Structure 1
Amino acid sequence: MSTTTRRRSSAALLATTLAVGVGVALAAPAATAAPAHVDNPFVGATWYVNESWAASVEGAASRAGGELGEKMMAVADEPTFVWMDRISAIAGNADGPGLRAHLDAALEQQQGSTPIVFGLVIYDLPGRDCYALASNGELPATAAGLARYKSEYIDPIAEMLAEPQYEGIRFTAVIEPDSLPNMVTNMSDQKCATAAPFYRDGITYALDELHAIPNVYTYVDAAHSGWLGWDSNLGPAVQEFASVARGTRAGFASIDGFVTNTANSTPLEEPFLPDPTLNVGGNPVRSSSYYEWNSYFDEADFTAAFKQRLVAAGFPSTVGMIVDTSRNGWGGEDRPTAVSTSTNLNTYVNESRVDRRTHRGAWCNPLGAGIGERPTASPAAHPHLDAYVWVKPPGESDGSSTEIPNDEGKGFDRMCDPTYSASKLGGAMTGATPDAPVSGKWFEAQFRTLVANAYPPIGGGTTPPPVDTQAPTTPGRPTVSAITATGATLTWAASSDNVAVTGYTVRDASGAAIATATGTTVALTGLTPSTAYSVTVVARDAAGNVSSASPAATFTTSAGQGGDTQAPSAPGTPSASVVTATSATISWPAATDNVGVTGYTVQTSTGTPLATSTTTSATLTGLTADTSYTVRVVARDAAGNVSVPSASVTFRTAGGGTDPGGACEAALTVPNAWPGGYQANVTITASEAITGWSTTLTLPSGSAINNLWSGVNVGTTGSVTVTNAAWNGTLGAGASTSFGFVGVGTPPAAGSLDCTAG
């Protein structure tokens, strides 16, 4: 990556801010020719360095001295995004210079006619951050607040960015962190329900105004894998984003891409946990207490899967993805150096994961976090990404450890209190760094630990630990099967690595990536009928080393029938029923097709076929007792076109043991309800020691579960069976646990439910 040499001091930047504030006219640099709107704005450009942030880093380096100070100075010239977190930030306030001062500084940093990337965060929605307190904003979730957002916030920003002297700047605008993800998972919260229409209207307006400027690139915030990684969240999130895009004047074109991990610390890679379906002690890694059945442990795999879902929902295949790597390095002496050898699932995960947080939902100033990958365009290890970026400037606080009065609307959130045991975290402590200021303020104590725990290590001082430079071995030649007019399945022999293989990329004859996988099989979709393909596979590891390409496999897609090249729609979310020790029945809502659906295939989560059917159900046989399975469904038509996969369903086969019966009780309550939805909790109490439990609840007609936690559900409507999660099945006599869910429609009746121990 090429960054920019700073040409003036922070004092000069402040002087410019003051001059603009008192109306002194500044000579505008000569305008450059307006560049074309490119696919990836980070390529072929230098990046803007925020001199105010750099000055804070340089001051901290001076105070630290020694090796730590040298490492701080080594990152002082890294590009960070500029946050417009309230209306006064546009003109400039006590926290720093205004937007115009930054833009003029970017013009001074620009090198000749080479474009310069300027990272900007749009962050002032009415009712901002409805599910947190530390980053609440100034505008209320009302019609008046929305009017001010449009006229006093978005309009002046858009007008400034559109001025001709700034045509040579590529503005990469992150749009409203945490907003739309809250619309997916937190609508049970009254503040989020109230804010919802203002979020959608405000973001639509922002996209309309910013997309109209040719050199602005919009990246909508998409949370992170620890928030949206469950299928029950990821599918609805994609639909939410698609709905907002369709409501803009330019449709899908109004969104250039999505950003994940904004101001968060989810690792880019979990090098020792590459396969969420790997069984340890009879259970998949994803069922551990830490991952709670989430299939995505890191941002690399999450963004790859997320992009595929977006394209299937109508976004162009060029939709970009960027990851905030400013604080997700997790280096230092506590970073694991090898995979665990334990046969206990939770011990295996805890000894192997580089993410050292107490819980994946612990978001505020996490202790032990480190600076991650430096800002980089088109990272080779992850070709589906536009860039690694630093949206959150390292060293700026997430929120105060105690209540601090302020005039910015920022409240005190106990998630930032290191002494707090949070119910949101399953009772775990927050793991927050103590003595933190309010969000956005410089937090030097945290910056010191971020630098010390950086991964990859920061240069400066003594020689850093050895870096893995050994690439994985070459994968085997792919075997091609299930060839249709628009798809094919590839399988290959695995690579090996001195540390661990983290994934594979399938490339076409030109070398372009056409699919990624964490295992050794992948289903290709969206191919062209009657077309010859030559594909290879490369393996990658956590350090970004890439293997040599496998020998090529060649195949030709079928011609289809009658010129039909349109694939069926994705089948609806499947459900599992009649689950025994060795079998299960999978059912799903039908797919549609322009000609006609001729059949379905039930697959594993990696694309391995398990059963086929010409109806909307199939019985899986030959399963292993007491084992978790995650399956999905694809549809096909007579021409051989294959749909994108449905959402997944997870179920567990019976253990084959005897049912002690009467050893547990279940009681359902409905603590919250609102028009069109509700939240329900179920408490399980053991009358004697048990090692597992299940309960069945009956939902009223039209009611459906949207999101369930602390349990595993079979079905989402009608009769729904819920079994324990991997971590809450064992209860002593008199002990209790609970699970909960958010649903749509009429809530179920409160009262006792059947409970079976096992």
Structure 2
Amino acid sequence: MRRLLLAVCATALSLPLLVPSLAGAADPNPGNPLAGRAWGVPRHTAEPQWLAYEAASGRQKRLLGRIALRPTSKWFGAWIPDGDIKQKVRSYIDASTGGDTAVVAQLTVFRMVPWEQAACTRLPTKTERTSYKRWIRRFVAGIGTEQHAAVVLQPDGPFALCAPDGSHVLSRLETYAAKRLGALPNVATYIDAGSAGWNHLDPANAVRQLTRAGVEHVRGFHLNTTHYESTAREIDFGAEVVAALAKAGLDDVHFTVDTAENGRPFTYTEFFDAHPDGVFNNAPACRRAAQRVCATLGIPPTAQVARKRWHLPARIRRLAREHVDGYLWAGRPWLDTQTWPFVRQRALRMARTTPFAAARGGEALSAR
């Protein structure tokens, strides 16, 4: 597979920053749609991490660059009206790729209404269901048939299983989105399946959610969005889910792992043991390199999932080579409660304490 070079330098402000993410010649995952091409970095006035980086100088600018100069995924949801979503998607993709359809843009769909705890108490109305489908169609149209992209579909995916009276309405809506996204020839879609801990380490839970949500129509699934569990734990669990899906008749399913905030990994239980009154979605940012049960940046976004520099055990690296398409940053731990607004001090602390600080920009993504 030919080498793709860094498309533009970080200081060329008229063009988007691109980083290559390459796969080795002996890759056991030769169909990986995220490997062998550049990943776009969103340089857009709507991206708070980019604005903070642009306004900074000196050491703070270098630290913020560990977030702003890396490929991240922008979230799109119900706060964007049906009539605006197509253009919003198109503008974001252009800012990430410079109009180059061969560059991978990254997007996260968070459109379901109701969702999270509200999804456990009521079902979407007919109007909400109609709006969801219309929004999805226009979102898909915004990407288009030529653009290469990676899409994470509906973070906190396990909430679909808590719909009242065992209803499959939420899952059917996800399936609608999966079919539409899966029909785009250059888009790799990964349905969010929570995390290993959320599924109680039981792959059957994830299989039930994913098969209901239409995983057969897309590339696979995504793990660890908004969670802090270790990359090794997620890979181990994800491989078990892949095997269970294969037993159910779904072969060639792959997955991605979110590494935006698991530089010092911990579980849900460990968090509340350390922070009984804490807010899990807003775990304190690490202040010191030796601190634990705190959020800091994990492995930089890349399709080079089995590099030794990620400090994964040999067995986990073998599983990653076969099953994992990439490490993505769909999580946004530099935002308050991972939603809004951007918290500069939080971002600086995570950038300063990450154990992957030496993996800078394209350097982390260019070696075979």
Please say whether Structure 1 and Structure 2 have the same fold, judged by a TM-score greater than 0.5: yes
Q: 1:107 to 1:451 in 2, by over 3 A?
A: closer
Alignment deviations for residues 706-741 of structure 1 (CA, whole Å, 9 cap, x no partner)? xxxxxxxxxxxxxxxxxxxxxxxxxxxxxxxxxxxx
- Aligned partner of 2:227 in structure 1 is 264
- Aligned partner of 1:314 in structure 2 is 249
Matched residues in 2 for 1:448 and 1:107: separation?
A: 26
Alignment deviations for residues 182-234 of structure 1 (CA, whole Å, 9 cap, x no partner)? 244xx3xxxx3279433112111111222222122221001001101333xx3
State yes or no: 1:390 paired with 2:329.
yes
Alignment deviations for residues 655-711 of structure 1 (CA, whole Å, 9 cap, x no partner)? xxxxxxxxxxxxxxxxxxxxxxxxxxxxxxxxxxxxxxxxxxxxxxxxxxxxxxxxx
State yes or no: 1:150 paired with 2:67.
no
Q: 1:254 to 1:58 in 2, by over 3 A?
A: closer
| Aligned with 1:122 (options 93, 109, 124) | 109
| Aligned with 2:350 (options 446, 450, 463) | 450
1:195-344 paired onto structure 2 within 5 Å: 196-231=167-202, 234-245=203-214, 253-269=216-232, 298-316=233-251, 318-330=252-264
1:371-382 paired onto structure 2 within 5 Å: 371-380=297-306, 381=317, 382=320
Q: 1:76 to 1:214 in 2, by over 3 A?
A: same
Runs of 4+ deviating beyond 4 Å: 1-4, 6-10, 61-66, 89-93, 359-362
Matched residues in 1 for 2:279 and 2:241: separation?
A: 22
Matched residues in 2 for 1:444 and 1:8: separation?
A: 24
Q: Which amino acid aligns with 2:208?
A: Q
Matched residues in 1 for 2:45 and 2:355: separation?
A: 21
Contact preservation (8 Å) 1:325, 1:374: yes
Q: Secondary structure at the match of 1:84?
A: strand
State yes or no: 1:108 paired with 2:61.
no
Contact preservation (8 Å) 2:260, 2:331: yes
Q: Secondary structure at the match of 1:83?
A: strand
Contact preservation (8 Å) 1:91, 1:100: no
Matched residues in 2 for 1:141 and 1:118: separation?
A: 30
Contact preservation (8 Å) 1:131, 1:182: no
Matched residues in 2 for 1:142 and 1:54: separation?
A: 31
Alignment deviations for residues 532-569 of structure 1 (CA, whole Å, 9 cap, x no partner)? xxxxxxxxxxxxxxxxxxxxxxxxxxxxxxxxxxxxxx
Identify, as 1 or 2, the structure richer in strand. 1
Alignment deviations for residues 148-169 of structure 1 (CA, whole Å, 9 cap, x no partner)? 1112x11111222235xxx1x2
Matched residues in 2 for 1:68 and 1:240: separation?
A: 42
- Aligned partner of 1:363 in structure 2 is 280
Q: Shift in Å at residue 130 of structure 1?
A: 2.8
Alignment deviations for residues 291-337 of structure 1 (CA, whole Å, 9 cap, x no partner)? xxxxxxx2122222222222222211x21110010111029xxxxxx
Identify, as 1 or 2, the structure richer in helix. 2
Q: Secondary structure at the match of 1:308?
A: helix
Contact preservation (8 Å) 2:171, 2:212: no
Q: 1:459 to 1:120 in 2, by over 3 A?
A: closer
Q: 1:388 to 1:71 in 2, by over 3 A?
A: same
Q: 1:56 to 1:226 in 2, by over 3 A?
A: same
Q: Secondary structure at the match of 1:79?
A: coil
Q: Which amino acid aligns with 1:229?
A: H
Q: 1:106 to 1:62 in 2, by over 3 A?
A: closer
TM-score by length of 1: 0.38
Q: Secondary structure at the match of 2:351?
A: helix
Matched residues in 1 for 2:305 and 2:173: separation?
A: 32
- Aligned partner of 2:159 in structure 1 is 182
Contact preservation (8 Å) 2:258, 2:330: yes
- Aligned partner of 1:99 in structure 2 is 89
Matched residues in 2 for 1:2 and 1:175: separation?
A: 29
Q: 1:203 to 1:459 in 2, by over 3 A?
A: closer
Q: Shift in Å at residue 3 of structure 1?
A: 6.0
Alignment deviations for residues 42-81 of structure 1 (CA, whole Å, 9 cap, x no partner)? 1111011111379633554577755444222244220011
Contact preservation (8 Å) 1:261, 1:323: yes
Q: 1:374 to 1:89 in 2, by over 3 A?
A: farther
Matched residues in 2 for 1:244 and 1:394: separation?
A: 26
Q: Shift in Å at residue 262 of structure 1?
A: 1.0
Larger-Rg structure: 1
Q: Which has the higher contact order (CA 8 A, sep 6+)?
A: 2
Q: 1:457 to 1:140 in 2, by over 3 A?
A: same
Contact preservation (8 Å) 2:220, 2:254: yes
Runs of 5+ consecutive residues of structure 2 not aligned to the other structure: 17-29, 285-293, 307-316, 361-368
Percent identity, aligned pairs only, is 24
Contact preservation (8 Å) 2:151, 2:189: yes
Matched residues in 2 for 1:205 and 1:120: separation?
A: 17
- Number of aligned positions between the proteins: 316
Q: 1:62 to 1:81 in 2, by over 3 A?
A: closer
Matched residues in 1 for 2:83 and 2:160: separation?
A: 31
